[in-house]
Amino acid sequence: MTDVRPGPPMRIPGADAEAAWQILLARIPYARHLGLEVRRHDSGRELHLPYREPLIGNILLPALHGGVLGALVEITARVAAQSADADGRRPQLLNCDIDYLRSARAQSTFARAEMIRLGRRSGLVRVICRQDDPRRPIAVGRVQLLFPGAAGPTRGPR
C-alpha cells in the first residue's frame, strides 16, 4: 500500500501540471522505489514504470508482479486527483478495484488517469495501464479517494 499520511495541503505555486506530477511523485516513497517517471502523452500525462528484473512476479512467463501493477494504478490515481484538486489536499484511498486483463510482460509499462468525478469530499479516477499498444490495456483500475477535511454530515441524537 502506498498510503501517504494526510498532512497540510500541498500547493505548488507556479508549477505547471507536469511539474506538479513530478513533485507529488517525489513525495511517495514507493513511487521512488519503483522508479516512476512522468511522461507526456497525447491525452495529457502518464506514469512510466521502467522495467527492472526485481519487478517480475512470474518467472516462467516472465510477467510483472500483480502487486506492482496495483501500486501503479493507485499511485497514478492519487497523483492525478491531488494535482487536479484546487485545494491541493492529499487524498486517502477508499476503494480500489482492478481488472487484470492480460499478463504484463517484462517490459516498460505506462499508466494514465481519467478523472471521472472530483468533488468536495471524494474523487473517482479511472486508470488504464498499457505496454506497447495503447489499444490493448493490460489492467484497468477504478479508484475512489477521500479528501481530508471532508467528513460526512453529522447526525445528532435521535
Model confidence at 5: pLDDT above 50: no
Containing 44, the helix (H) or strand (E) segment is strand 44-49
- DSSP bridge pairs for 97: 142
pLDDT tens sequence across 16-36: 777 888 999 999 999 999 999
In this structure, the dihedral spanned by the alpha carbons of residues 90, 113, 100 and 2, taken in order and rounded to 10 degrees, is: -20
Chain centroid to CA 51: 18
Task: Give the class (CATH, top level) of 17-146.
Answer: alpha beta
Q: How far is CA 123 from CA 61, 93, 98, 128, in A?
A: 36, 10, 16, 16
Model confidence at 99: pLDDT above 90: yes
Stated pTM of the model: 0.84
Strand order in the sheet with 92-100: 37-41, 44-49, 109-118, 122-130, 139-146, 92-100
Q: Kindly state the percentage of the chain with pLDDT values over 90.
A: 69
pLDDT tens sequence across 35-66: 999 998 777 789 999 999 999 999 999 999 99
Higher pLDDT among residues 50 and 150, named by residue: 50
Closest CA to 83 of 50, 115, 127, 128: 115
User: What are phi and psi for residue 12, nearest 5 degrees?
Assistant: -120, 85
Model confidence at 7: pLDDT above 80: no
Q: How far is CA 72 from CA 36, 51, 67, 108, in A?
A: 8, 13, 9, 12
- What's the rounded mean pLDDT across residues 124-152? 91
Surface-to-core class of residue 36, CB atoms within 10 Å of its CB (0-12 exposed, 13-18 middle, 19+ buried):
buried
